[in-house]
Every structure is written in structure tokens, then in C-alpha cells.
Homo-oligomer: A and B are copies of this chain.
Amino acid sequence: MKSKAAIFTEIGKPLIVDEIEVDDPGPTECLVKLDATGLCHTEIWYMGGGDSVDYAAMSPRVLGHEGGGVVVKAGSQVTSLKEGDHVVPLYISECGTCVECRSPETNLCSYLDDKGYYEGVMPDGKPRFHWHGQDVKHFMGTSTFSQYTVVPEVALAKIREDAPLDRVCLLGCAITTGVGAVLWTAKVQPGASVAVFGCGPIGLNVVQGARIAGAGKIIAVDLKPERLQMAKELGATHLINAKEHGGTGTGAVKELTGGGADFSFEATGNTAVMRQAFESVRYGGGKCVLIGVARTGEEVSLTPRMLIAGRVLTGTAFGGCKGRSQLPELVDYYMDGSLKIDEMVTKEIGLEQINEAFEWMKQDQGYRYIVKY
């Protein structure tokens, strides 16, 4: 089958928008026709050479991991999905049977780890994409920059059919990461104080998660007034422009919370800010959750005594969300109005504008861009 796609070929080069060939799904996979995909900074990071993979061996490749679509063909052994089901592809699968899936503490399903996930192929060791006679690698198991994509059954969350796919596609990464970090990783309790360091697309969803969790104080920290204003619209009760506090929100958060927040979240990927977020939680049980992805080789440095005094440092991937079972809850939050998505969509574009949109993102213009197929 033919599919339009945006193809990564080389570090630092724009994606090539062209037609590719997509194979039928294997027995445990589905062919999905995407309605839309979000554009995430992870792709910018990858396209810039940030990953530690062998780029030559992994190219060409179809990137993309925030999709919303409909199953058009289910593999012969697929039991939980059928043609016509609405789905969000998951870059962290949920097989339901591995050690991690059976643990209540983690969402990091390891089922696909030795089944081609990291090699950019499907479980039989081959990719389902081809271009000018060449194999094309998958990315994060999702490859949503192709209108038709093939995804293993365990990596597809079935969602309700009345949810608009060009909005809930964003649950494929950013929104779930931010909201889930609050609900599932930190398990924020009603009335708790929450500090959010960084109000970009992830941090804003942490703010939303804190509002949904019923946090008492939601303190947003950023350097840009317009982002702080957006945080306020999404639920922040206090705004701190770190520029006005010597470049760090730590002191102001401690002052607003009488010594330290119950929870802090870091959503910038900057290791200095990670430390600031950690140091802003209260002694005796204050918890800091890292969400931002630091550059390869960068480290975060801490004073051990702050840990001895009962602070907890952890991190989250995909918001601790077990995708197949928990992502549908977030769709419900969107449909009942408690989770805002539309407000964060800056622009809808066609696939041919994808490189232009990445440039806007690099300049921190707006929040979220969505490709409509």
C-alpha cells in the first residue's frame, strides 16, 4: 500500500516528504490509518543527532510518535482490536504479562525490548516500510509521520470513537507525560503543593494534572511571561518568573510553601533546573519528579544531605501511564472538559509543512503543531 510520509535520511537535513510503500501487518500487528500526528521536540532532538544510535544503520527512518488513527487491518493473531477501532499508538507498550506490566510501580513494559523496538523493525526482524527499493526503519514503534503505519497490538491503546483523533493524538506523548507524571508517578494528593519548573508543552500539562488531582497550590516557574500566563489559564495558582529571582525559582517556591513544596516537577531538560526543582521540595517526604530529557553526557549534581533529610528524587517516562489500560481515562478527562487540549494547539498543518513547523518549534513559537493527514 502507498502512504505519504516524511522521511528522515540524515542528521541535520530536513525530512523528505514523499510516498512510501507500507507492507501488510504481521500476525501480532495492526495497520493503522492515521488522522493526525503531533510534532514533538524528541524528533528535533533525534534529527539533530542527539540519540546515541548508529544513524547510518538506522536511516532512512520514519519518525513520529503522537498519532491518532483507525485500525484498517488487524493481524491474524490480534485479539483485542479489529478494523474500525480508534487507536493511539504507544511508544511504551503494555503487554500485560511482563514483570513491569505486573508491577504497580512502573509502566516500562519490556515486552518489545528484544523484539526489534530498538532496531527499528517489527518483531520478525523486518521493517514494514520501503522507499525506492530501500527498507525504511520504524521509530519508537509508532512512526506516525506516515499516514499508514504498522504497530504491534500491545502498543495500541483503543479509545472511544467520539473523541476527535486530531486532538487526542497528543495523548501519545506530551499530554500524557505531563498529566501522568502527576497522577501516576507522583500520585499527588488533594491539597498538596506542587511546583512546576518549565511551562512548555510538558510543564503546562503538569499544571493541568495538578489541577485535576486537586492540588492546593500550583506554582508555575518559567522565564517567559506568556508561558506563565498560559499556565495560569490551565490552572496555576501562583506564577514565578525566575528571571526576577536571580534565575532560579527555588527560593520563591520555598517562600510560597513555607519551606518547600510537597512535589516538584522538572520539565525543561536543563540539569541546572533539575537541581533547582529538587532543592525546592520540603524536607521529610518532598518528592521531585524529573521529566525533561537532558543532553547526552550531562549530569545532575546534588548534595546528599538533602536526600538524607527525606527528599525523594525520581523520574518519569510517558507519565508512568500504562498506555492500553490508563490512556483511555485521559480521553475521558478531555471529553468531559477537565483536560484542555484545544487551547494548546497553535496550528494545524499539512505534512508538507512539517520542516517549517519544526523551525517554529526551535524558536519556541507557540505550543503544539498538528499534522492533519
Write out the residue numbers on chain B whose beta carbons fall within 8 Å of the beta carbon of A107: 284, 310
A108 within 8 A of B: yes
Are B315 and A285 in touch, CB under 8 angstroms?
no
Interface stretch, picked from A34-42, A67-75, A196-204, A295-303, is A295-303
Give the docked Cα–Cα distance between A223 and B256 (Å): 46
Whether A311 pairs with B315 at a CB distance below 8 angstroms is yes
A307 touches which one: B285, B290, B301 (CB < 8 A)? B290
Of residues 277 to 317 in A, which have CB atoms within 8 Å of B's CB atoms?
283-285, 290-294, 298-317
Of the 9-residue stretches A16-24, A54-62, A98-106, A226-234, which lies at the interface with chain B?
A: A98-106
Q: Which residues of chain B come closer than 8 Å to A317, judged between CB atoms?
A: 308-310
Q: Is the CB of A301 within 8 A of B304?
A: no
With beta carbons under 8 angstroms apart, the residue of B285, B294, B303, B309 that contacts A304 is B294
Contact for A305 among B294, B306, B308, CB less than 8 A: B294
Nearest Cβ on chain B to A158's Cβ, whole angstroms: 24
Residue in B closest to A274 when the chains form the complex, CB atoms: B304
Compute how far the CA of A320 lies from the CA of B317 in the bound complex, rounded to whole angstroms.
Answer: 28
The residues of B that contact A311 with a CB separation of less than 8 Å are 314-315
A355 interface residue per 8 A CB criterion: no
Contact flag A313-B310 (CB < 8 Å), given A100-B284, A304-B300: no
Q: Chain B residues near A305 (CB, 8 Å)?
A: 293-294, 315
Residues 345-372 (chain A) with a chain B CB within 8 angstroms: none
Cβ of A9 within 8 Å of any chain B Cβ, yes or no, is: no
Q: How far is the CA of A310 from the CA of B285 in the complex (A)?
A: 18
Partner of A284, one of B105, B298, B302, B306: B105
Point out the residues of chain B lying under 8 angstroms from A313, CB to CB: 307, 312-314
Residues in chain B near residue A294, CB distance under 8 A: 303-305
Shortest CB-to-CB span from A165 to chain B, Å, is 28
**Does A28 reach chain B (CB closer than 8 Å)?**
no
Q: Which of B100, B291, B300, B312 contacts A302 (CB 8 A)?
A: B300
A300 neighbours in B (Cβ, 8 Å): 301-302, 304
> A271: CB under 8 A from chain B?
yes
B285 and A105 contact, CB distance less than 8 A: yes
Subset of 15 A-B contacts with CB under 8 Å: A103-B284, A105-B310, A107-B284, A108-B284, A110-B284, A293-B304, A293-B308, A299-B301, A299-B303, A300-B304, A305-B315, A308-B316, A308-B317, A310-B320, A312-B314
